[in-house]
Amino acid sequence: AQSVTQLGSHVSVSEGALVLLRCNYSSSVPPYLFWYVQYPNQGLQLLLKYTSAATLVKGINGFEAEFKKSETSFHLTKPSAHMSDAAEYFCAVSDTGNDMRFGAGTRLTVKP
Amino acid sequence: GAVVSQHPSWVICKSGTSVKIECRSLDFQATTMFWYRQFPKQSLMLMATSNEGSKATYEQGVEKDKFLINHASLTLSTLTVTSAHPEDSSFYICSAKKGLFHDTQYFGPGTRLTVL
């Protein structure tokens, strides 16, 4: 069964610094990979997704992620953090779009 | 767009009562909807998958008789927590897919259930 591991339950960066949130996946077939963001007491908002097209995926709010099959990774990056980026980020994997499995989440804190 | 709504956004009930949560796709038809449960500071756990007009498929360990799911139309799915107990208190989130082979799930804002 597919699964994802998010390295680091909490990441803290300064405003303007690079954001790097790590995600490694396990899947027996070419997966669909997703990054979602969750603000307190809200649902999940899709940041970006990988569906076997370009390996570098650009999402909303300046985020992007690169699919690296050899490393089974799908890390999320943003060149310059904003205070509004502070939230919980979830990586998810799916074989079919139905069986989505989420990582444990990474809480991003942005310091002024 | 792909907007999913949930109602209510929060609910408090007494132990032993039943609570119904609605999930609606506002601007698309959702052939498949999903129900997740999220405990504080934890990830989402899939509870069940429902397809319009058919019985829901529950994940292992989820009680079918406790968490009743009805997907009566292409825009509405409901989750009823029957005979709720304090341990059922949680954040319940639904999601929906636009089509059978569509890859992306669009999530609702969630419903916080507190059982006293």
Compute the Cα dihedral for A72, B40, B51, A1 and give only its sign.
Answer: positive
Question: Which three-class secondary structure state does DSSP give residue B84?
Answer: coil
Question: Residue B42 carries which DSSP code?
Answer: S
Q: Six-digit token pair at B11?
A: 């609910």
Compute the nearest-CA separation of A18 from chain B (Å): 24
**What does the pLDDT look like over A35-55, one tens digit per residue?**
999 998 788 899 999 987 788
Give the mean model confidence (pLDDT) for residues A7-22: 96
Determine the pLDDT at residue B2.
Answer: 84
Question: In chain A, what residues touch B109 (CB-CB under 8 Å)?
Answer: 42-43
Q: Could you give the maximum distance between any two Cα atoms of chain B, in Å? A: 41
Determine the pLDDT at residue B101.
Answer: 63
How far is the C-alpha of B5 from the C-alpha of B108, rounded, in Å? 5
Question: In chain B, what residues touch A105 (CB-CB under 8 Å)?
Answer: 42-43
* Yes or no, beta carbons of B108 and A43 under 8 Å apart: yes
Instruction: Name the band, by pLDDT with cuts 50, 70 and 90, for residue A58.
Output: very high
By Cβ distance, the residue of B43, B102, B107 closest to A97 is: B102
**What does the pLDDT look like over B28-86, one tens digit per residue?**
998 899 999 998 878 889 999 998 888 899 999 999 999 999 988 889 999 999 999 99
Going by C-alpha positions, the residue among A83, A84, A110 that lies closest to residue A10 is: A110
Determine the pLDDT at residue B96.
Answer: 92
By the 8 A CB rule, do B28 and B98 touch?
Answer: yes
Determine the pLDDT at residue B102.
Answer: 61
Question: In chain A, what residues touch B97 (CB-CB under 8 Å)?
Answer: 97-98
